[in-house]
Amino acid sequence: MSLLVVGSIAFDSIRTPFGEVEEILGGSATFFSITASWFTSVRVVAVVGEDFEEEHFRVFRDRPIDTLGIEKVPGRTFRWKGEYLGDMSQAHTLDTQLNVFESFVPKIPASYLETEFLFLGNIGPALQLRVRQTLPKLRASALDTMNYWIKGMPEDLAKVLATVEILLINESEARMLSGRDNLKKAAASIRKLGPRFVVIKRGEHGATLFGQNSVFTAPAFPLDQVQDPTGAGDTFAGGFMGHIARTGDLSDSNLRRAVVYGSVMGSFAVEDFGLGRLLRLTPDEIEARFREIKNLTHFDA
Amino acid sequence: MSLLVVGSIAFDSIRTPFGEVEEILGGSATFFSITASWFTSVRVVAVVGEDFEEEHFRVFRDRPIDTLGIEKVPGRTFRWKGEYLGDMSQAHTLDTQLNVFESFVPKIPASYLETEFLFLGNIGPALQLRVRQTLPKLRASALDTMNYWIKGMPEDLAKVLATVEILLINESEARMLSGRDNLKKAAASIRKLGPRFVVIKRGEHGATLFGQNSVFTAPAFPLDQVQDPTGAGDTFAGGFMGHIARTGDLSDSNLRRAVVYGSVMGSFAVEDFGLGRLLRLTPDEIEARFREIKNLTHFDA
């Protein structure tokens, strides 16, 4: 079924202990859509500048991704420069140039209005709300956010949270949003703000899904080498929402599988810089790693 | 089957956001033996001072724990004072008085010589090696260690590591011991030092078991409230080795269950200060939480 993402498209410059790249394609909408395109067709709403060339559009169009909603405007595309040190658990931002992203107002093409599944990438909550309200046929929307909006725009964030079914959030942000250190209580308190499901992302420690009467934990897939963690969260979201949109099934047991697909896709993302590994995948590799996570967590009760 | 622990017995003074206790019974041998006693009978080798009263011995003897190896010597019992703040992921030591523990030399009673399963709690590696070599009938030994010995006595540690089947170690210590940030590589490199199995403990993120061709990850059980994390690692070890000694089964599938029992027992430990919850348990509660971890990790492939 139809899946739409609204988020950023950026050129990322990244340094990790394993190498360095300059101005490669990144951003939340990019990682999400490329990932979800392994599960279903995807529509993208984002903004780019005049420096965004045909070759960049082609990265999306070579996959089942509709780029009609990628608006090209005067100016330069969003740029981010960051560095990861040691165990690479944290990005250190070296430079951010918002450029055309600074005045981004998502525009939904008429052909997207029937969309059934939505991922609201990490943009201002007022913009997220406007997108959510533009789409009358949604069966489920998921939202990502960050400390900047939690601290700076709590009222706008509360409004959009009240309208979404799923919140994807990392551990420290879940604590900040809820004011609770205990994650189980944090999730319970966030569920009262609107989302029926809260997925707390824990990076190399996996992810936990909190529902009405159910908790599910999936590990991260243990890798020999993490090259570049950039985009892992949006890639997780792409696998998660990609599986949900592909199946159209919002049951607890299917959301558990969706979390595992999120973990699977996140593990591929970090094996190479930028989109490298996500563009080189095969469906068989995805299914094989899904089964490996089954083996990784299986025990006889 | 028979299970022996060598480690510390201490009086702990602990402050957490949830309360404060003074001089309650603690120490690695204490947490381990009380926990493992829910699975099998346990023998303890440790040292205490003259202030260790009959009431303290009775805490052990009320459980199937043989205290013949607890040596009482002139002086005061080991004391530790610590504090946990915020998310309580780290203990801040406020005071350590080694007292009689400073000159602890483990003495193995003759009646313990047939012991088949051994847990070498966190004491000097030369002492651990001596204990390991004193026991001719061992089927498996597990070892705990810490940064202090990894940095300070790497040669002694290498000697004892070469003699044990299982290393239980936390995440940061695994990185320190192996010189590898990547945990999969860290475990592989530690396995070359001797242990067939490496269990990396990740606190609230669970634990991962690395074997020959197998990796298994168990989550921590999500709790509404963590009162006091003291002893969680030794409690994990007590559930893990308790299940192994109870079954006498060193297969991969049984070690997976042992990790889950470790996680189960660790989750009980932190629900109250000190031994509180571990003394109030029932076998049914243990089995119920084991099944809850099964539910927590289950998905249909």
- The ipTM of this complex is 0.89
Q: How confident is the model at residue A216 (pLDDT cuts 50, 70, 90)?
A: very high
* DSSP classification of residue B37: T
Q: What value does the mean pLDDT take over residues A94-120?
A: 97
List % helix, strand, coil for chain B (3-state, nearest 5).
40, 25, 35
Q: What value does the mean pLDDT take over residues A239-266?
A: 98
CB pair distance less than 8 Å for A181 and B88: yes
Which pLDDT score is estimated for A8?
97
Which pLDDT score is estimated for A88?
85
Chain B residues touching residue A216 (CB < 8 angstroms):
296-299
Instruction: From residue B42, give the alpha-carbon distance in Å to each of A163, B69, B112, B122, B245.
Output: 56, 11, 10, 17, 10
Say how many CB pairs under 8 Å bridge A and B.
95
Determine contact, residues B171/B146, Cβ cutoff 8 Å. Answer: no
Q: What value does the mean pLDDT take over residues B3-30?
A: 97
Q: How confident is the model at residue B88 (pLDDT cuts 50, 70, 90)?
A: confident
CB pair distance less than 8 Å for A256 and B222: no
Chain A residues touching residue B84 (CB < 8 angstroms):
none
Beta pairing partners, A10: A26, A78
Q: What value does the mean pLDDT take over residues A143-152?
A: 95
Q: Is the pLDDT of residue B89 over 90?
A: no
Q: How confident is the model at residue A137 (pLDDT cuts 50, 70, 90)?
A: very high
Q: Is the pLDDT of residue A299 over 90?
A: yes
Gap between the Cα atoms of B140 and B115, Å rounded = 10
Which pLDDT score is estimated for A1?
87
Q: What are phi and psi of A71, to 5 degrees?
A: -90, 130
Tokens 């950039």 correspond to what residue?
A: A230
Instruction: From residue B85, give the alpha-carbon distance in Å to each of B18, B88, B226, B270.
Output: 10, 5, 12, 14
Tokens 């410059």 correspond to what residue?
A: A13
Which pLDDT score is estimated for A225?
86
Instruction: From residue A139, give the alpha-carbon distance in Å to each of A4, A41, A236, A298.
Output: 12, 16, 20, 32
Determine contact, residues B95/B83, Cβ cutoff 8 Å. Answer: no
pLDDT tens per residue, range B194-224: 999 999 999 889 999 999 989 999 999 999 8
CB pair distance less than 8 Å for A202 and B205: yes
Q: Is the pLDDT of residue B1 over 90?
A: no
Could you give the percent of chain B with pLDDT greater than 70? 100
CB pair distance less than 8 Å for B224 and A185: yes
Which pLDDT score is estimated for B270?
96
Q: What value does the mean pLDDT take over residues B69-75?
A: 98
Q: What value does the mean pLDDT take over residues B274-288?
A: 97
Q: How confident is the model at residue A42 (pLDDT cuts 50, 70, 90)?
A: very high
